[in-house]
Amino acid sequence: MIRVPLRSLKFCYGLIFVSSVLAQNSAEDSLLSHYPLKVGNIWDYSGGSFPSLRLVTATKDSIHPNGKKYTVLYSVTYDISSSDNVGSLGQVRKETILQRVDSTSLNVYRIPYEEPDFGEVLIDSLRALPGDFIISNYFKKIYMDSFSEKMFFGKSRVFRKLVIDYIVYFEFETAEGLGEIHWSSVGEDLVSYDSLQAAVIRGDTLGALLRVRRPKLSLDRSELLFSKNQTKERIFFINRNDGLTVIDSVAMNRESDFYSQPFYRGAGYLDTVFSKGPFLVFPRDSIYLDMFIRESGLEQAFHDTLRVYARGINGESLPRIDIPVKVDPLVSVPSLPNDNQNVPDSFNLTAYPNPLHSQQTLKIFYQLNQTENLKIEVYDILGRRVSTLGNQRTLPGQHQIAWDSRDLPSGVYFVSLFARNRRETIRFQILK
């Protein structure tokens, strides 16, 4: 028989215990890194059926009146699809989110910005295994779906996928060392809402932050001419850089003599009033403005200036762009061709009435300059397709479709036309 000194035995057991504790601590640290809540961290998200950008910054730690410590996440969202402002091609939403991870249970809690009086809500549990249901006091159900390993920002990382039953089903993913990286709806049509594009985690910059990319705005016209036979001019505002450009306002001295239709080229968006902005122009997208002169403006010759004020999302100013405007009702001016070949012609898509009330039929108008394989679809505010109105080869000319929407609930919807690499979308509302 081999006798082991008690002292040595205690030492061996000590090593096993320490190794076990270290392994457990390492595993917990790995899980905790799925929510790196450290002041100074930055996340840039973008995506969606329409251009959107969400910038999140961990600004400070704060003790809430409930006695618990939270990290304050300041979120700014630039979103075209959710705009409720007449005459605006985008909306800016600013929100403050409080979030914490309980170091004992590894549960993740958040105080929702839309209902701060509700108290903190459980949004995740880092100890959950695939197949587990997480009992939340806010969502109907949280389901832990799976773990996976993927390359992201040049490193192999563990991913966690969860499904949330809220108003609709959503799935979201967290990544080791990064935090929340992706949100999307779950259904027949998978729609991406937010995907992480870049981040700053504990001082390390991963990816190229959109918020620091330089904005730029260029125009394809140097002068606008109006006459008795030239009552419409089209101007392209083009963002050729990778930064987000904000057109704060477009102004004229004799603004009442004109009206316009601004179109967003990239996601497709139409408004039919002379808008003062802001126009949010996402990277490599453009806005074009169909500008018309009213009969009152053709009573005499005059000169004016179309002034364009733009900036970057961080407030960096861009040089003001001035476009001379000349009006002479007594001369004939030949129509100027559009020499910007990068942006195709519009479908001139419109819909009436808008908003649409109960028992009314939506009339959709569009025109084609050539024969196209055309698809026409309707989407809800979450990007889910609710109807296909046409998918066929269509001849040139003016076209009209009457659509019965009585089975749809009240809300905001979008009509989209697709042809080859072109897309144009307009927003309408159903009121019942």
Distance between CA atoms of residues 362 and 146, nearest Å = 44
Q: Give the length of the chain.
A: 432
pLDDT for 49 equals 54
Give residue limits of the domains in the chain.
1-30, 33-212, 218-327, 350-431
Give the whole-angstrom CA distance, residue 177 versus residue 156. 11
DSSP strand pairing (91-101 vs 69-79): antiparallel
- State both tokens at 175: 């990544």
Q: Hey, what CATH topology would domain 33-212 get?
A: YmcC-like fold (2.40.360)
Largest CA distance in the chain: 119
According to DSSP H, which parts of 215-345 are helical? none
* Distance from C-alpha of 329 to C-alpha of 311, rounded to nearest angstrom: 35
What is the pLDDT at residue 14? 40
Q: Are the CB atoms for 304 and 256 separated by under 8 Å?
A: no
Strand partners, 289: 235, 262
What token pair was written down for 263? 């179109």
Classify 297 as helix, strand or coil.
helix
Counting as low any pLDDT under 50, the low residues of the chain are 1-23, 84-87, 188-190, 268, 271-273, 333-344
**Span 145-184, pLDDT tens digits:** 999 998 988 889 999 999 887 766 788 899 999 999 888 7
pLDDT of residue 37: 93
- The whole-angstrom distance between residue 25's C-alpha and the CA centroid of its chain comes to 38
What pLDDT does 326 receive?
93
pTM: predicted TM-score of the whole model, two decimal places: 0.63
Q: Which CATH architecture has domain 350-431?
A: Sandwich (2.60)
Residue-level pLDDT at 339: 40
Instruction: Look at residue 136 in the predicted model and tell me its pLDDT.
Output: 79
Q: Do 218-327 and 350-431 fold alike per CATH?
A: yes
| Distances, alpha carbon 408 to alpha carbons 165, 190, 361, 404, 431, in Å | 22, 20, 12, 9, 10
Cα–Cα distance measured from residue 196 to residue 208, given in angstroms and rounded to the nearest whole number: 11
- Laid out side by side, the sheet with 411-419 consists of 356-357, 422-431, 411-419, 372-380, 385-394
Burial of 211 per CB tally in 10 Å (0-12, 13-18, 19+): middle
List the one residue out of 55, 96, 59 whose CA is nearest residue 244. 55
* pLDDT the model gives residue 261: 74
pLDDT at 160: 93
Q: How far apart are CA 394 and CA 391, in angstroms?
A: 9
**Domain 218-327, architecture per CATH:** Sandwich (2.60)
Distance separating alpha carbons of residues 382 and 46, to the nearest angstrom? 15
What integer pLDDT is reported at residue 58 of this predicted model?
A: 95
Q: How far apart are CA 21 and CA 23, in angstroms?
A: 5
